[in-house]
């Protein structure tokens, strides 16, 4: 369990660090534009943009921990469905949202949320280390 926590924390930390640091890179993409196709729907739109690996890892961790500490196992799947519905609505209404909320405001909000994701990744890593330390402490007390 602690290794799963640490791995998910590292993945979340690295992904959010990349997102935060990407603002400092110029957009010097020389890649040719691809012709629209169904293949582009799966990669790169769905994986890793909409359903990133660290998102899957976090969902698994939340489900495992929720089942261990709560008697309501349905909460995490319901919250995941709610987030997916909100994502769908945001994509469907992107143009009106961008008219109401200007792009710089969304960029600032994205940066703040990216920094919060960095902190969450570090926190998950530290929780994994703490759990492993408690396990090792119990093992040493048994001997």
Question: Which residue ranges in the chain fall short of pLDDT 70?
Answer: 26-50
pTM: 0.71
Q: Provide the phi-psi class of 18: left if phi over 0, else alpha when psi is between -120 and 50, else beta.
A: alpha
- In this prediction, residue 138 carries a pLDDT of 92
Take residue 42 and report the two structure tokens written for it: 């799966």
- In this prediction, residue 140 carries a pLDDT of 92
- In this prediction, residue 16 carries a pLDDT of 87
- In this prediction, residue 126 carries a pLDDT of 94
- In this prediction, residue 137 carries a pLDDT of 94
- Summarised one tens digit per residue, pLDDT across range 13-23 is 998 898 888 87
- Residues 69, 8, 17, CA angle at the centre, nearest 5°? 130
Distance CA 47, CA 45 (A): 6
- In this prediction, residue 7 carries a pLDDT of 84
Q: What DSSP line would sit under 16-80, residue for residue?
A: HHHHHHGGGS-----PPPPPP-HHHIIIIIIIIIIS-HHHHHHHHHHHHHHHHH-S-TTHHHHHH
On whether the CB atoms of residues 16 and 112 are closer than 8 A, the answer is no
- In this prediction, residue 1 carries a pLDDT of 78
């Amino acid at each position: 369990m602690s290794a799963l926590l640490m791995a998910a924390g590292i993945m979340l930390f690295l992904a959010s660090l990349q997102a935060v640091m990407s603002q400092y890179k110029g957009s010097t993409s020389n890649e040719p534009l691809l012709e629209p196709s169904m293949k582009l729907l799966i990669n790169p739109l769905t994986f890793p943009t909409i359903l990133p690996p660290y998102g899957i890892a976090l969902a698994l961790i939340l489900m495992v921990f929720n089942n261990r500490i709560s008697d309501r196992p349905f909460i995490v799947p319901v919250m995941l469905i709610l987030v997916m519905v909100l994502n769908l609505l945001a994509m469907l209404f992107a143009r009106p949202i961008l008219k109401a909320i200007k792009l710089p405001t969304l960029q600032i909000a994205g940066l703040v949320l990216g920094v919060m994701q960095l902190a969450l990744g570090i926190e998950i890593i530290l929780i994994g280390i703490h759990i492993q330390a408690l396990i090792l402490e119990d093992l040493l007390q048994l001997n």
